[in-house]
Structure 1
Amino acid sequence: MPRVVAVSRDAAHRFSKPVVDQIVLVAGIGIEGDAHAGETVQHLSRKRVDPSAPNLRQVHVIHSELFEEVGEHGFTVAPGDMGENITTSGVDLLTLPTGTVLQFGDDASIEITGLRNPCSQINGFEPGLLKAVLGKDENGVVERKGGVMSIVLSSGAVRAGDEITVMLPPEPRTPLQPV
Protein backbone atom coordinates (compact mmCIF):
# COMPACT_ATOMS: atom_id res chain seq x y z
CA MET A 1 0.00 0.00 0.00
CA PRO A 2 1.42 3.43 -0.95
CA ARG A 3 2.40 5.47 2.10
CA VAL A 4 4.16 8.64 3.18
CA VAL A 5 7.54 7.75 4.72
CA ALA A 6 8.50 11.26 5.89
CA VAL A 7 7.69 14.95 5.40
CA SER A 8 10.17 17.86 5.32
CA ARG A 9 10.15 21.63 5.01
CA ASP A 10 12.54 24.54 5.35
CA ALA A 11 11.85 28.27 5.47
CA ALA A 12 15.27 28.96 3.90
CA HIS A 13 16.59 28.06 0.46
CA ARG A 14 18.93 25.21 1.42
CA PHE A 15 19.56 21.99 -0.46
CA SER A 16 18.39 19.60 2.26
CA LYS A 17 15.22 20.04 4.32
CA PRO A 18 14.79 18.85 7.92
CA VAL A 19 12.22 16.12 8.57
CA VAL A 20 9.24 17.36 10.62
CA ASP A 21 6.21 15.67 12.20
CA GLN A 22 3.79 17.16 9.67
CA ILE A 23 3.52 19.62 6.83
CA VAL A 24 0.46 21.65 5.93
CA LEU A 25 -0.43 21.92 2.25
CA VAL A 26 -2.11 25.17 1.20
CA ALA A 27 -4.11 25.02 -2.05
CA GLY A 28 -2.48 26.98 -4.88
CA ILE A 29 0.46 28.02 -2.67
CA GLY A 30 2.50 25.03 -1.48
CA ILE A 31 3.68 24.09 1.98
CA GLU A 32 3.07 26.43 4.88
CA GLY A 33 6.46 27.71 6.10
CA ASP A 34 8.49 26.35 3.16
CA ALA A 35 10.77 28.58 1.06
CA HIS A 36 9.23 27.28 -2.17
CA ALA A 37 5.63 28.19 -1.27
CA GLY A 38 3.96 30.74 -3.54
CA GLU A 39 1.70 31.16 -6.54
CA THR A 40 4.66 32.29 -8.63
CA VAL A 41 8.04 30.60 -9.04
CA GLN A 42 10.18 30.54 -5.88
CA HIS A 43 13.17 28.51 -7.12
CA LEU A 44 15.94 31.14 -6.95
CA SER A 45 17.53 30.63 -10.40
CA ARG A 46 14.14 30.47 -12.12
CA LYS A 47 12.89 33.51 -10.20
CA ARG A 48 15.78 35.57 -11.60
CA VAL A 49 14.70 34.66 -15.15
CA ASP A 50 10.93 35.26 -14.77
CA PRO A 51 9.56 36.08 -11.30
CA SER A 52 5.98 36.11 -12.65
CA ALA A 53 6.07 32.49 -13.93
CA PRO A 54 3.58 30.14 -12.27
CA ASN A 55 5.01 27.97 -9.51
CA LEU A 56 4.83 24.42 -10.86
CA ARG A 57 7.30 23.30 -8.17
CA GLN A 58 5.35 23.94 -4.95
CA VAL A 59 5.90 20.42 -3.56
CA HIS A 60 8.83 18.09 -4.33
CA VAL A 61 8.12 14.37 -3.91
CA ILE A 62 10.72 11.55 -3.95
CA HIS A 63 10.23 7.80 -3.71
CA SER A 64 12.22 6.21 -0.87
CA GLU A 65 13.13 3.37 -3.21
CA LEU A 66 15.60 5.81 -4.84
CA PHE A 67 17.59 5.92 -1.58
CA GLU A 68 17.99 2.15 -1.72
CA GLU A 69 19.04 2.33 -5.39
CA VAL A 70 21.74 4.95 -4.81
CA GLY A 71 22.77 3.12 -1.63
CA GLU A 72 23.83 0.21 -3.84
CA HIS A 73 26.37 2.65 -5.36
CA GLY A 74 27.73 3.68 -1.96
CA PHE A 75 25.64 6.80 -1.32
CA THR A 76 23.83 7.47 1.94
CA VAL A 77 20.62 9.44 1.43
CA ALA A 78 17.76 9.81 3.90
CA PRO A 79 14.38 11.62 3.78
CA GLY A 80 14.74 15.37 3.23
CA ASP A 81 18.40 15.10 2.17
CA MET A 82 17.63 15.82 -1.50
CA GLY A 83 15.34 18.73 -0.69
CA GLU A 84 12.07 16.87 -1.07
CA ASN A 85 8.99 17.73 0.94
CA ILE A 86 7.32 14.33 0.82
CA THR A 87 9.10 10.97 0.77
CA THR A 88 6.92 8.10 -0.42
CA SER A 89 6.99 4.31 -0.52
CA GLY A 90 5.10 2.04 -2.88
CA VAL A 91 4.39 4.59 -5.65
CA ASP A 92 6.36 4.45 -8.91
CA LEU A 93 6.38 8.25 -9.19
CA LEU A 94 8.57 8.47 -12.29
CA THR A 95 6.15 6.47 -14.46
CA LEU A 96 3.06 8.48 -13.56
CA PRO A 97 1.69 10.83 -16.22
CA THR A 98 1.48 14.60 -15.92
CA GLY A 99 -1.70 15.58 -14.09
CA THR A 100 -1.76 12.58 -11.76
CA VAL A 101 -3.29 13.49 -8.40
CA LEU A 102 -1.84 12.12 -5.16
CA GLN A 103 -4.18 12.32 -2.19
CA PHE A 104 -2.80 12.04 1.33
CA GLY A 105 -5.29 10.84 3.90
CA ASP A 106 -8.77 12.32 3.46
CA ASP A 107 -8.07 15.95 2.58
CA ALA A 108 -4.69 16.99 1.20
CA SER A 109 -3.87 16.48 -2.48
CA ILE A 110 -1.30 17.51 -5.07
CA GLU A 111 -1.15 17.36 -8.87
CA ILE A 112 2.08 16.20 -10.47
CA THR A 113 3.40 18.81 -12.92
CA GLY A 114 6.64 17.14 -14.04
CA LEU A 115 10.02 15.69 -13.22
CA ARG A 116 12.60 17.32 -11.03
CA ASN A 117 15.60 18.15 -13.18
CA PRO A 118 18.55 17.29 -10.91
CA CYS A 119 21.31 19.91 -10.84
CA SER A 120 24.93 19.99 -9.77
CA GLN A 121 23.96 21.05 -6.22
CA ILE A 122 23.36 17.35 -5.61
CA ASN A 123 27.12 16.78 -5.88
CA GLY A 124 27.59 19.34 -3.09
CA PHE A 125 25.54 17.07 -0.85
CA GLU A 126 27.45 13.94 -1.85
CA PRO A 127 30.09 13.97 -4.64
CA GLY A 128 29.03 11.86 -7.62
CA LEU A 129 25.37 11.61 -6.58
CA LEU A 130 24.20 13.58 -9.64
CA LYS A 131 25.38 10.80 -11.93
CA ALA A 132 23.50 8.26 -9.79
CA VAL A 133 20.18 10.14 -10.16
CA LEU A 134 20.63 10.71 -13.89
CA GLY A 135 20.81 7.72 -16.17
CA LYS A 136 20.07 6.63 -19.70
CA ASP A 137 17.60 4.01 -20.82
CA GLU A 138 18.30 1.36 -23.45
CA ASN A 139 17.57 3.93 -26.19
CA GLY A 140 19.99 6.50 -24.78
CA VAL A 141 17.22 8.76 -23.45
CA VAL A 142 18.10 10.59 -20.23
CA GLU A 143 16.30 9.28 -17.15
CA ARG A 144 15.76 11.76 -14.33
CA LYS A 145 15.33 9.88 -11.05
CA GLY A 146 15.25 12.84 -8.62
CA GLY A 147 11.52 12.75 -8.00
CA VAL A 148 8.56 14.77 -9.22
CA MET A 149 7.30 18.30 -8.75
CA SER A 150 3.71 19.26 -8.06
CA ILE A 151 1.17 21.92 -7.15
CA VAL A 152 -1.25 21.80 -4.22
CA LEU A 153 -4.87 21.13 -5.17
CA SER A 154 -6.45 20.82 -1.73
CA SER A 155 -5.24 21.94 1.66
CA GLY A 156 -4.55 19.69 4.61
CA ALA A 157 -1.93 18.15 6.86
CA VAL A 158 0.41 15.37 5.67
CA ARG A 159 2.30 13.09 8.08
CA ALA A 160 4.51 10.03 7.92
CA GLY A 161 2.32 6.95 7.71
CA ASP A 162 -0.48 8.63 5.73
CA GLU A 163 -1.96 6.46 3.01
CA ILE A 164 -1.52 7.73 -0.57
CA THR A 165 -4.28 7.38 -3.16
CA VAL A 166 -3.14 7.70 -6.79
CA MET A 167 -5.66 9.13 -9.28
CA LEU A 168 -4.60 9.03 -12.92
CA PRO A 169 -5.78 11.73 -15.34
CA PRO A 170 -8.10 10.84 -18.20
CA GLU A 171 -6.71 9.53 -21.51
CA PRO A 172 -4.77 10.56 -23.47
CA ARG A 173 -2.02 10.82 -20.87
CA THR A 174 1.15 12.88 -21.19
CA PRO A 175 4.48 11.48 -19.96
CA LEU A 176 6.34 13.55 -17.37
CA GLN A 177 8.82 16.15 -18.59
CA PRO A 178 11.26 18.25 -16.54
CA VAL A 179 9.77 21.39 -14.95
Structure 2
Amino acid sequence: MATILFVSDGYVGDVKIFMGSVAYLYQINRSPGGLPKLPVPEAWITFKGMDGDRHRNRALHGGPDRALCLFSFEVLEALQQEGHTVHPGASGENFTLAGLNWTQLKPGDHLKIGEEVQIKLTSYCEPCRHNAQWFVNGDFSRISHRQYPGWSRLYARVLFEGRVRQGDGVWVVTSPNRNMK
Protein backbone atom coordinates (compact mmCIF):
# COMPACT_ATOMS: atom_id res chain seq x y z
CA MET A 1 0.00 0.00 0.00
CA ALA A 2 1.46 3.35 -1.06
CA THR A 3 1.23 6.60 0.85
CA ILE A 4 0.98 10.07 -0.63
CA LEU A 5 0.75 13.48 0.97
CA PHE A 6 -2.34 15.61 0.59
CA VAL A 7 -3.41 19.10 1.60
CA SER A 8 -7.10 19.80 2.12
CA ASP A 9 -8.91 22.56 3.95
CA GLY A 10 -5.67 23.59 5.63
CA TYR A 11 -4.92 20.08 6.91
CA VAL A 12 -1.80 18.25 5.79
CA GLY A 13 -1.59 14.51 6.32
CA ASP A 14 -0.81 11.09 4.97
CA VAL A 15 -3.46 9.17 3.08
CA LYS A 16 -3.46 5.58 1.95
CA ILE A 17 -4.11 4.42 -1.58
CA PHE A 18 -6.47 1.48 -1.28
CA MET A 19 -7.04 0.93 -4.99
CA GLY A 20 -4.34 0.83 -7.63
CA SER A 21 -4.37 2.27 -11.11
CA VAL A 22 -6.66 -0.47 -12.40
CA ALA A 23 -9.26 2.29 -12.32
CA TYR A 24 -9.20 4.79 -15.16
CA LEU A 25 -10.97 7.75 -16.74
CA TYR A 26 -13.15 5.99 -19.31
CA GLN A 27 -14.62 9.16 -20.81
CA ILE A 28 -14.47 12.95 -20.31
CA ASN A 29 -17.77 14.74 -21.04
CA ARG A 30 -18.83 18.37 -21.43
CA SER A 31 -21.54 20.46 -23.05
CA PRO A 32 -22.43 24.11 -23.64
CA GLY A 33 -25.46 23.42 -21.40
CA GLY A 34 -27.88 20.56 -20.97
CA LEU A 35 -27.86 16.86 -21.73
CA PRO A 36 -26.19 14.84 -22.99
CA LYS A 37 -22.63 15.90 -22.35
CA LEU A 38 -20.41 14.84 -25.26
CA PRO A 39 -17.00 13.14 -25.14
CA VAL A 40 -13.74 15.06 -25.45
CA PRO A 41 -10.26 13.48 -25.42
CA GLU A 42 -8.86 15.81 -22.76
CA ALA A 43 -9.85 18.78 -20.61
CA TRP A 44 -8.44 21.40 -18.28
CA ILE A 45 -9.90 21.14 -14.77
CA THR A 46 -10.07 24.25 -12.57
CA PHE A 47 -11.44 24.92 -9.11
CA LYS A 48 -14.67 25.99 -10.85
CA GLY A 49 -14.96 22.77 -12.87
CA MET A 50 -14.13 21.82 -16.44
CA ASP A 51 -13.15 24.48 -18.96
CA GLY A 52 -15.79 24.68 -21.69
CA ASP A 53 -18.52 22.95 -19.66
CA ARG A 54 -21.74 24.80 -18.83
CA HIS A 55 -25.00 24.10 -17.01
CA ARG A 56 -28.58 25.06 -17.79
CA ASN A 57 -29.54 25.46 -14.14
CA ARG A 58 -26.76 27.10 -12.16
CA ALA A 59 -28.81 27.02 -8.96
CA LEU A 60 -28.65 23.21 -8.93
CA HIS A 61 -25.36 22.56 -10.74
CA GLY A 62 -21.89 24.01 -10.42
CA GLY A 63 -20.21 25.90 -7.60
CA PRO A 64 -17.16 24.78 -5.62
CA ASP A 65 -18.77 21.69 -4.06
CA ARG A 66 -20.38 20.64 -7.36
CA ALA A 67 -17.53 21.58 -9.69
CA LEU A 68 -17.52 18.11 -11.27
CA CYS A 69 -20.04 15.29 -11.61
CA LEU A 70 -18.82 11.67 -11.73
CA PHE A 71 -20.46 8.39 -12.69
CA SER A 72 -19.45 4.76 -12.96
CA PHE A 73 -19.03 3.01 -16.30
CA GLU A 74 -19.96 -0.30 -14.65
CA VAL A 75 -23.18 1.17 -13.22
CA LEU A 76 -24.04 2.48 -16.70
CA GLU A 77 -23.46 -1.00 -18.15
CA ALA A 78 -25.72 -2.56 -15.49
CA LEU A 79 -28.44 0.01 -16.23
CA GLN A 80 -28.19 -0.81 -19.94
CA GLN A 81 -28.63 -4.50 -19.07
CA GLU A 82 -31.93 -3.49 -17.43
CA GLY A 83 -33.04 -1.94 -20.74
CA HIS A 84 -32.25 1.72 -20.07
CA THR A 85 -30.54 3.70 -22.86
CA VAL A 86 -28.37 5.82 -20.54
CA HIS A 87 -24.75 5.96 -21.72
CA PRO A 88 -21.52 7.80 -20.81
CA GLY A 89 -22.24 11.53 -20.64
CA ALA A 90 -26.00 11.15 -21.03
CA SER A 91 -26.85 11.86 -17.40
CA GLY A 92 -24.61 14.91 -17.24
CA GLU A 93 -21.47 13.53 -15.67
CA ASN A 94 -18.14 15.13 -16.51
CA PHE A 95 -16.12 12.00 -15.77
CA THR A 96 -17.20 8.45 -16.51
CA LEU A 97 -14.87 6.32 -14.36
CA ALA A 98 -14.17 2.60 -14.83
CA GLY A 99 -12.67 0.01 -12.54
CA LEU A 100 -13.84 1.43 -9.20
CA ASN A 101 -16.01 -0.28 -6.61
CA TRP A 102 -18.66 2.45 -6.91
CA THR A 103 -20.62 1.33 -3.84
CA GLN A 104 -17.54 1.96 -1.66
CA LEU A 105 -17.16 5.61 -2.67
CA LYS A 106 -18.54 8.13 -0.20
CA PRO A 107 -18.59 11.91 0.18
CA GLY A 108 -15.32 12.89 1.83
CA ASP A 109 -13.21 10.47 -0.24
CA HIS A 110 -10.40 11.93 -2.32
CA LEU A 111 -9.55 10.81 -5.88
CA LYS A 112 -6.42 11.49 -7.89
CA ILE A 113 -7.02 11.57 -11.64
CA GLY A 114 -4.05 11.53 -13.97
CA GLU A 115 -0.85 13.27 -12.98
CA GLU A 116 -2.24 16.52 -11.59
CA VAL A 117 -5.92 16.60 -10.66
CA GLN A 118 -7.17 15.76 -7.20
CA ILE A 119 -10.79 16.01 -6.12
CA LYS A 120 -12.87 15.49 -3.00
CA LEU A 121 -16.27 13.81 -3.29
CA THR A 122 -18.83 16.14 -1.71
CA SER A 123 -22.33 14.70 -2.17
CA TYR A 124 -24.55 12.36 -4.11
CA CYS A 125 -26.12 13.93 -7.18
CA GLU A 126 -29.89 13.55 -7.31
CA PRO A 127 -31.22 13.15 -10.87
CA CYS A 128 -33.59 15.65 -12.47
CA ARG A 129 -36.43 15.21 -14.96
CA HIS A 130 -34.08 15.88 -17.90
CA ASN A 131 -32.69 12.36 -17.32
CA ALA A 132 -36.09 10.72 -17.90
CA GLN A 133 -35.37 10.25 -21.63
CA TRP A 134 -32.69 7.63 -20.83
CA PHE A 135 -34.83 5.42 -18.59
CA VAL A 136 -37.57 2.86 -19.17
CA ASN A 137 -40.93 4.52 -18.46
CA GLY A 138 -39.02 7.72 -17.70
CA ASP A 139 -38.08 6.39 -14.25
CA PHE A 140 -34.94 8.44 -13.68
CA SER A 141 -35.16 7.68 -9.94
CA ARG A 142 -33.16 4.57 -10.88
CA ILE A 143 -30.03 6.69 -10.32
CA SER A 144 -31.27 8.30 -7.09
CA HIS A 145 -29.06 7.57 -4.09
CA ARG A 146 -32.10 7.84 -1.81
CA GLN A 147 -33.88 4.98 -3.58
CA TYR A 148 -30.92 3.00 -4.93
CA PRO A 149 -27.78 3.56 -2.83
CA GLY A 150 -24.62 2.93 -4.81
CA TRP A 151 -26.26 3.67 -8.18
CA SER A 152 -26.06 7.47 -8.24
CA ARG A 153 -23.65 10.04 -9.57
CA LEU A 154 -21.35 11.95 -7.22
CA TYR A 155 -20.38 15.62 -7.06
CA ALA A 156 -16.81 16.69 -6.35
CA ARG A 157 -14.76 19.71 -5.33
CA VAL A 158 -11.47 20.28 -7.19
CA LEU A 159 -8.49 20.33 -4.80
CA PHE A 160 -5.69 20.48 -7.40
CA GLU A 161 -6.18 21.83 -10.92
CA GLY A 162 -4.67 20.33 -14.06
CA ARG A 163 -5.20 18.52 -17.34
CA VAL A 164 -6.92 15.14 -17.62
CA ARG A 165 -6.93 12.80 -20.59
CA GLN A 166 -9.15 9.89 -21.52
CA GLY A 167 -7.52 6.74 -20.15
CA ASP A 168 -5.75 8.48 -17.25
CA GLY A 169 -5.36 6.39 -14.11
CA VAL A 170 -7.68 7.03 -11.18
CA TRP A 171 -6.59 6.41 -7.61
CA VAL A 172 -8.87 6.55 -4.60
CA VAL A 173 -7.20 8.03 -1.54
CA THR A 174 -8.81 8.43 1.84
CA SER A 175 -8.15 9.63 5.36
CA PRO A 176 -6.28 7.08 7.52
CA ASN A 177 -9.26 7.29 9.91
CA ARG A 178 -11.63 5.71 7.38
CA ASN A 179 -12.21 1.99 7.81
CA MET A 180 -11.99 0.43 4.33
CA LYS A 181 -13.21 -3.16 4.69
Q: TM-score, normalised by structure 1?
A: 0.76
After superposition, the C-alpha distances for 1:88-125 in whole angstroms (9 at most, x for unaligned) are 11112342232211111211111100111112221134
Q: What RMSD over aligned residues (CA atoms) do the two structures have, in Å?
A: 2.5
Cross-structure match for 2:158: 152
Alpha-carbon distance in 2 for matches of 1:171, 1:128: 41
Q: How many residues align?
A: 157
- Give 1:67-82 correspondences, 5 Å limit: 67-82=76-91
CA pair 135-69 structure 1, distance change in 2 beyond 3 A: farther
Alpha-carbon distance in 1 for matches of 2:163, 2:102: 21
Alpha-carbon distance in 2 for matches of 1:83, 1:67: 12
Query: 1:22 Cα shift?
Result: 0.8
Unaligned runs of at least 5 residues, structure 1: 37-41, 48-52, 174-179
Q: After the TM superposition, which of the residue ranges 73-82 and 59-68 deviates more from structure 2?
A: 73-82
Aligned-pair identity in percent equals 24
Unaligned runs of at least 5 residues, structure 2: 1-21
State the one-letter code of the partner of 1:44: R
State the one-letter code of the partner of 2:160: S
- Give 1:12-31 correspondences, 5 Å limit: 12=33, 14-26=34-46, 28-31=47-50
1:56 aligned counterpart, secondary structure: helix
- Give 1:23-42 correspondences, 5 Å limit: 23-26=43-46, 28-36=47-55
Q: TM-score, normalised by structure 2?
A: 0.75
- Give 1:112-127 correspondences, 5 Å limit: 112-126=121-135, 127=137
After superposition, the C-alpha distances for 1:42-76 in whole angstroms (9 at most, x for unaligned) are 843438xxxxx953111000000111111121112
2:106 aligned counterpart, secondary structure: coil
